[in-house]
Amino acid sequence: MGYDTGFVEERNGDTWVLNPRSELPLHITASSQAKAHMFKEALEQGFQLSRNAETAVLNLMTKYPEVGFPEVEAFIALIEKTFDQAGGSRADEGCLPDFESPGHSRRFRLGGAFPEHYDDLRRLGGEMFRYVGQIKSTDPRVQRHLRAELLSLTYTLGAYAARRSRQRAEMTILGWRFLPMPAGCCPDCRSIHEENAAVPRLVVPRHIACACNVFPILH
């Protein structure tokens, strides 16, 4: 397929980098080299069909609950913190109280596994708030599925970006145009403005589940 993410590399004994040649390296902790290779092989299935990778990774997470993925956990913590600061509060018995979206009179409730009024959540935190319902869920199966989805998606996006970067290495490029997701995949990505030829290329994905992109300015 042409998506070379590199061989698994050791970091500090029980920590491994799954994709050292990717634009966003992903680490696995509390793991052996054999387990790291199994997760990498599962993630590689996402180049053909994302669902295959998610299912394979989910099965491995269930079999090896001790392993962790620090970049994924940091992203989940960021979403929860951003959501709470935006006006939400922590779940109480699996249900969140109503709160008002800044600049909007409509109030909405987040309960169960998926949030209502998705457009309001996007205004608060961009596309990353699509995951709030799963993050707030108390169901361990939902939590594992979320982590499998985020890990698989980011592994694939990082490989795609690395391939594009290597393909453009021989091009004469004047600058770069940053193209965020429509609502911004996070507040930080939403804060980046139009093209600027003086700005070096931004590395994407910028974080877990980031589907923003950069395009070369050739003339």
Gap between the Cα atoms of 47 and 72, Å rounded: 20
State mean pLDDT over 167-171: 76
**Residue 216 binned pLDDT confidence (cut-offs 50, 70, 90):** confident
Both structure tokens of 122: 């996007």
State mean pLDDT over 147-153: 96
| Residue 147 vs residues 76, 129, 154, 209, 218: alpha-carbon distances, Å | 9, 15, 11, 11, 38
Using a 10 angstrom Cβ sphere, with 0-12 exposed, 13-18 middle and 19 or more buried, the burial of residue 188 is middle
Name the 3-class secondary structure at 95: strand
> How large a percentage of the chain has pLDDT more than 90?
45
Q: How is the chain split into domains, by residue range?
A: 1-170, 171-217
pLDDT tens digits for 71-106?
A: 999 999 988 888 887 765 434 434 343 333 333 333
SS3 194: coil
**Model pLDDT for residues 101-115, shown as the tens digit of each residue:** 333 333 334 444 344
Residue 123: band (very low, low, confident or very high) from pLDDT cuts 50, 70, 90: low
More confident residue, 214 or 185: 214
Paired with 27 in beta bridges are 17
